[in-house]
Structure 1
Amino acid sequence: MAKKKIGWYWVWVTTSLLFRLFLIYFPKDLNFTSRPEVSTPLTSLRRLAEGYWLKQSSLSPYAGSMYHASPLLLSILGPLTVIRLEGQPSHLFCSLLFVVADFFTAVLIRATGQKLQDAYSILPAGDVASLIYLWNPLTIVSCVGLSTSPVENLMVVLTLYGACSGLAPLAAFGWVTASHLSLYPSVLLIPVILLLGYGPDAPSRKLFLQKGSRTNGNKPPLAGRSFSWRPVIYFLLWAAIWAVYVLFLCSISLKQYGGLSEMFKRTHGFILTVEDLSPNIGVLWYFFAEVFEFFREFFLIVFHVNILFMILPLAIRLNHRPCFLAFVYIAISSMLKSYPSVGDPALYLALLGWFVTELAGYGECKLLLCDGNWLCLFADNSGG
């Protein structure tokens, strides 16, 4: 039975990938590339192609107001925007790369969900979450619409997978790369530290406050859950190494075009100052198009600090659920970021599948004391 379920899972995965490949051949008819819901100033492949053309013409890729993403992304995807086969559009290779990125993102979501399932779940959370990601219309539109969101989502999920697996170098690489590409994933530092220090999510402490915990001086399982600093320090060390390496590559790429200062001004500075007021699915573009220039800097601070104000209270309340904390951070930043696209909600809607056990009503937990050992039993709402 288990092998049959696994076989059906890969059938659904393969079908979702083939469906993407089918839609790729109709980009002009679908016209997703020019939709503001799909392509933003930070994720548009057209802008990336423009930046690559400027660089090939010995000009700064940040000249004008077109390109505002990472120079490393420009070096990787730029050459793919000009390769053209006989009878095939030039964007074909980029589309195939985005399909591969979606596939690996789904695989990592599944693997991470399986680790959470070992900790507290009953339903196949990894399978559910990965299929939600692959078959979500928002994910498919982002892939077919030539948005770079699949690459950013891959780095975010790679961070969480590395942290859940205790792989500090991998988590550090994903976190540094995701923060470099989009800035907002930097808030995931706290969930990653909690994951490395405590391990995967555990049930809420309130579920263990039973009268039986006072008998015979025994303590519930979470009472002995200690924080380990060694993997955290290891992660911070690798994060510093990867950050230096990324900045070194960026400095080489922009050596003749203003260096790192120009990069930070045109990428992260562009995100924080909200210079481009083109319509998107967020609210900042409309608000700053209407606000008086005298109050612009004040409201910029208010909007950006609004995300930071939520970090500490949520971390205190959900420190025993670092993966759920990461999901909340991703959802909040996706809704409040400067230039959101449909690829942002596609990610956190998929990560919601990790907690399918709670959504299905398997949240009730009972503690039993058996031969001096604590057993935690989950029961559904029907009393099973």
Structure 2
Amino acid sequence: MLIRAIGLKLRMAYCERLKSLGLGKLFEISEILPSEDIAALVYLWNPLTIVTCVGFNTTPVENLFIILSLYGACIRVAPLAAFGWVVASHLSLYPTILIIPVILLLGNGPDATPRKLFLMYKKDEADNSSKGRVVNGLSEQKKFSWRPVGLFFVWVLIWTLYTLVLCGIFMRNYGGLSEMFNRTYGFILTVKDLSPNIGVLWYFFAEVFEFFRDFFLIVFHVNILFMILPLAIRLKHRPCFLAFVYMAICSMLKPYPSVGDSALYLALLALFFNELAEMQFSFFLFCGFVGVSLLSPVMHNLWIWRGTGNANFYFATGMAYACFQVCFCTFTGIFVGMYGL
């Protein structure tokens, strides 16, 4: 329901954007499919979502609070957006980078017209002829609203203190907050558990020399931070699409990914179904995701349970999965850059 509500807000913002450019009739005559319904169905009936629920994974809980934060930002309710962001960041470290899309949503709304020159045809009211005159200028734009952003940070502080107090009460007899942070954020940052998963870091750190371990830990974690600012500058007018890109990057580079992470960003991408309908290589990417989804459990069974396979076979499926995600983000980014969505 929250994903569908975000889609409705996006469609309303898209309609207002066309009207501001003098293209309101284009929205009325165009056969636009309800992307919000498609996104909700993509998440609910996605095999990755079903597998996550069957495996009793906690990723759907994290996804719930991420979507709650984005929904609160779309409707510009700062307390709700702050609550979702704080709880999602508490459950996992990587949703913290979503603070940039949330701030853009609170300040600009779901969709803002990019600051560039447009050629708009305006009818001369005094003349009833069919010809129009071309006006070269900037379209009207809404100013960035700082008030909900300020409220957001105030509520982030309130919810963070509230969460830490509750955690401190429950963790009194288990080492306190320091032990909690060591076993949550510390566990993620140090990558102590090298159990096989669908990511690629477990194999890399199993093979790397211990002397270089700290260096590569810094490299992999900082790699995500290097992408935040350039993407925010390029996609500042489409914060929901920016949130999709951030979540896809985290799903690729986090040390302990799950298929539930992919289920969420695929659902968010479905919100832009109409804009990305003509994206190239979509069938190739779809077949790649299906092939990896079928091969990964087979290779895991052969290696872990039957003992007849090799670690390289299972790692190869993880590498293929990461490569397809890279191609997926690259092609969508190129399409956005070409058509200025």
Q: TM-score, normalization: structure 2?
A: 0.71
Percent identity for Structure 1 against Structure 2: 70
Task: Tell me what 1:165 maps to.
Answer: 75
**Secondary structure, counterpart of 2:257 in structure 1:** coil
What amino acid sits opposite 2:172 in the alignment? K
Q: Deviations over 1:89-122 (max 9, x none)?
A: xxxxxxxxxxxxxxxxxx1000000100111164
Corresponding residue of 2:5? 111
Distance 1:216 1:355, change over 3 A: closer
Please state how far the C-alpha of 1:265 moved relative to its aligned partner: 0.6
Distance verdict in 2 for CA 1:149–1:216, change over 3 Å? closer
Where does 1:267-282 land on structure 2 (aligned, <5 Å)? 267-282=184-199
Structure 1 residues 330, 350: CA separation in 2 closer, same or farther (over 3 Å shift)? same
1:288 aligns with 2:201: no
For 1:148, which of 32, 35, 58 is the aligned residue?
Answer: 58
Tell me: CA distance 1:339–1:217, structure 2 relative to 1, closer, same or farther (3 Å): closer
Question: Measured at CA, do residues 199 and 211 of structure 1 come closer, stay the same or move farther in structure 2, by a change above 3 Å?
Answer: closer
Aligned mates of 1:262, 1:182 — CA distance in 2? 16
How far off is 1:209 after superposition?
Answer: 2.6
Query: Structure 1 residue 346 and structure 2 residue 263: aligned?
Result: yes
Q: Which residue identity does 1:110 align to in structure 2?
A: R
Instruction: Give CA deviations for 1:217-263 in whole Å, capped at 9, x if unaligned.
Output: 76313xx2211100000000001100000010000011122111111
Q: Give the one of 180, 191, 194 matched to 1:263.
A: 180
- Equivalent residue number for residue 92 of structure 2: 182
Give the secondary-structure state (helix, strand or coil) at the position aligned to 2:205: helix
Q: Secondary structure at the match of 1:250?
A: helix
Secondary structure at the counterpart of residue 172 of structure 2: coil
Please give the secondary structure, in 1, of the residue aligned with 2:174: coil
Matches within 5 A, 1:61-72: none
Residue segments in structure 1 that go unaligned for 5+ positions in a row: 1-106, 363-384
Q: Separation in 2 of the partners of 1:227 and 1:202?
A: 10
Instruction: Give the drift of 1:123.
Output: 2.5
Counterparts of 2:138 and 2:216 in 1: how far apart (Å)?
Answer: 49
Q: Give the corresponding residue for 2:246.
A: 329
Determine if contact 2:194/2:205 at 8 Å carries over to the other structure: yes
**What count of residue pairs does the alignment treat as equivalent?**
253
Q: Distance in 1 between matches of 2:246 and 2:207?
A: 28
Contact 1:120 1:203 in 2 (8 A): no
The gaps in structure 2 that reach 5 residues or longer are 16-31, 123-132, 280-341
1:155 is matched by which residue type in structure 2?
A: F
**Separation in 1 of the partners of 2:134 and 2:152?**
40
Do the aligned residues in 2 keep the contact of 1:117 with 1:123 (CA within 8 Å)?
no
Q: Does the alignment pair 1:137 with 2:47?
A: yes
**Correspondence list, 1:6-85, <5 A:** none
After superposition, the C-alpha distances for 1:180-220 in whole angstroms (9 at most, x for unaligned) are 001100000010000000111235555x5327599567631
1:250 aligns with 2:173: no
How far apart are 1:359 and its partner, in Å? Answer: 1.7
Q: 1:210 aligns to what SS in structure 2? A: strand
Poorly superposed stretches of 4+, deviation over 6 Å:
none
SS of aligned partner of 1:275: coil
Superposed CA offset, 1:250-280 (max 9, x none)? 0001112211111111110000000000000
1:132 and 1:350 in contact (8 A); partners too: yes
2:94 & 2:223 partners in 1: Cα distance?
13
Name the CA distance, whole Å, in 2 between partners of 1:267 and 1:342: 20
1:43 aligns with none
RMSD value over aligned CA atoms? 1.9
Paired residue type of 1:261: S
1:200 aligns with 2:110: yes
SS of 1:227 mapped into structure 2: coil
Q: Scaled by the length of structure 1, what TM-score is found? A: 0.63
Correspondence 1:127 to 2:37: yes
Residue type at the aligned position of 1:303: F
Whether contact under 8 Å (2:85, 2:96) holds in the other structure is yes
Distance across 2 between alignment mates of 1:351 and 1:205: 25
1:220 aligns with 2:139: yes
SS of residue matched to 2:198 = coil
Distance 2:209 2:89 in 1: 31
Aligned to 1:69: none
Q: Distance in 2 between matches of 1:257 and 1:346?
A: 34
Q: Contact conserved, 2:120 with 2:135, CA < 8 A, in 1?
A: no
